[in-house]
Chains A and B, each alone.
Chain A
Amino acid sequence: MSVHEAAAAQRPAEPAVIVNGLRRAYGDRTVIQGLDLRIERGEFVALLGESGCGKTTLLRALAGLDPIQGGRIIAPKRPAVVFQEHRLLPWDSLWRNVALGLDGPDARARAAAALAEVGLGDRLDDWPRNLSGGQAQRVALARALVQQPQLLLLDEPFAALDALTRIRMHALVRELVATHRPGVLLVTHDVDEAIALADRILVMRDGRIAFAHRAHRDGTVARGDLLAELGVLAAHAPA
């Protein structure tokens, strides 16, 4: 039993998001059909799938950015989102970027604390243009977490980073999620990233969850199974 499962067993289940029978279509083209999903608070779920399978569409529906055509989403009023691009406001200093949407006199202090958490506590008044890609994405993470979200949606946030930076980001994200315990949905192309981060890995195909896999951090993850589900390898191919 993993640490997370033990923790989950001790506390009553607190769903971060529940999706029932979701339908999402662009005009005549149905992208998501009859999708069910439940993510607990503190649970890290990775969503894999081929390009165009509807993973980002699902994430955007959960974020409340797109209307849905059927079904039900019970989600917190304001889930936090980290996009593939950092989306920092180039005209605002780092702390003002992180404080975007915060109000109250302690906004700067809260932003400063969040920046410190991602290792940029000494760059409060710097401009976004002076940041590397990894640093900018850390600021975006701080901006998401400073809202104390119950649900954190990550839309391929590490896809544009180099391999070493990505590994560092994985460690940081694991740490932050362990501290803040939001429910997390990570949309990614990267099977290894999903294995490195997630408690549960879902594979999406034809607008629904086609395959679910509970990850084991001890390395016995069925990487081959996942790749097979993604259509990369033939599953249990006879010799």
Chain B
Amino acid sequence: MSNIDQTAGPIELAQATTDGHLNGADRRHAIGPATLQALSWLAPALLVVIWEALAQGGYLSPQVLPAPSKILRTAYKLTTQGTLLNDLGVSLLRATAGFAIGGAIGFVLGLLVGFSRLAEALIDRSIQMIRAIPFLAVLPLVIVWLGVGEAEKVFLVALGVTFPIYINTTLGIRQVDPKLIELARVQGLSPLALIRRIILPGALPSILTGVRYALATAWLALVVAETIGAQSGLGFLAMDAREFLRTDVIVLTIVIYALIGVLADLIARWLERRLLAWHPNYGAGR
């Protein structure tokens, strides 16, 4: 499994989409999996302890990097007295809305192009051209169009989500074994049954890879969008704290961004394990 994690990360799409072919068999059993598992958690925990010790010892200026304990206290205070939960909710709502809109557009376009050569001829090249633009580069234009309100933020998230979902949906459909499609004809399946029983399940591993990748892009888009002219949300919290040199609040927002990123990835992987139980590379075993 861990081999897949390394390739399916948000670094490079081309790699991420091929991870279905990687053999995820465990290759390193020399030290024992339980020990390695424990070590993999122990190492970051140790880093936090060292960080705390350095801050307590006065080696780290609170202006540069406040102690973890201070950040926890700030989190508690902002939750009970401030607007942390509200800001978190606003950010999650923007991400969810953008993801839903972008995901739906990417999926529908992906289905069209995956199934129809005509649709491919009509829209694929245009989409590939737009995709070549780093989606954050259009931010100034989006602000001119939509201002700095909610629409701009949701738009940017949706834009970042559309392409990975689109590409992985078309790719997944194209990769369905033609022999299975032929089988559908032999068994007399209707076109609808062909899509439901063979093409969508066959494309699902690729689509879910797209979902995982899109979750990371959605989050990135949100951070950027919220850094510019937001009145609420985590990004606003961070920029507001910058004005007052509240490094603890800034680090807190970064930590929350990270936690939500991890959570989103866990959800995506849970989906993979559930929906791809049949797949030797994803399934929870026999």
Contacts and interface: CB of A to CB of B under 8 A. Distances in A.
A107 interface: no
B218 to A, nearest CB: 27
Interface in A55-84: 63-65, 78, 80-81, 83
B77 interface: no
Interface stretch (A25-33, A89-97, A183-191): A89-97
Contacts of A81: 186
B261 interface: no
Given A127-B278, A129-B278, A130-B286, A89 B180 contact: yes
Contact of A90 (B187, B197, B278): B278
B188 interface: yes
A80 B187 CA distance: 7
B279 A78 contact: no
B189 A91 contact: no
A82 to B, nearest CB: 9
Interface residues of B, number: 21
SS class of chain B's interface: helix, strand, loop or mixed?
Answer: helix
A129 B286 CA distance: 9
A81 B276 CA distance: 28
Contacts of A64: 185
A81 B179 CA distance: 12
A85 interface: yes
B280 interface: yes
A214 to B, nearest CB: 30
B278 A63 contact: no
A205 interface: no
Nearest to A143: B187
A178 to B, nearest CB: 23
B282 to A, nearest CB: 11
A100 interface: yes
Interface in B183-228: 183-189, 193, 197-198, 201-202, 204
A219 interface: no
A105 interface: no
A101 B193 CA distance: 8
Given A85-B179, A90-B278, A65 B201 contact: no
Nearest to A153: B186
Contacts of B193: 101
Interface residues of A, number: 21
A87 interface: yes
Contacts of B197: 89, 92, 100
B5 interface: no
B182 interface: yes
Given A87-B183, A101-B188, 17 more contacts: A63-B186, A65-B182, A65-B185, A65-B186, A83-B179, A83-B183, A89-B197, A89-B201, A90-B278, A91-B201, A91-B279, A100-B183, A100-B184, A128-B278, A129-B278, A143-B187, A147-B187
A147 B188 CA distance: 10
Interface string A207-231: 0000000000000000000000000
14 contacts: A65-B185, A87-B179, A87-B183, A89-B180, A91-B202, A91-B279, A92-B278, A100-B187, A100-B189, A101-B188, A127-B286, A130-B286, A143-B187, A147-B187
A81 B198 CA distance: 18
A129 B280 contact: yes
Contacts of B185: 64-65
Interface in A87-146: 87, 89-92, 100-101, 127-130, 143
Interface string B102-143: 000000000000000000000000000000000000000000
| B186, B276, B286 interface centre (most CB from chain A within 10 Å) | B186
B178 to A, nearest CB: 11
A170 B179 CA distance: 25
Contacts of A92: 197, 201, 278
A66 B160 CA distance: 43
A122 B182 CA distance: 28
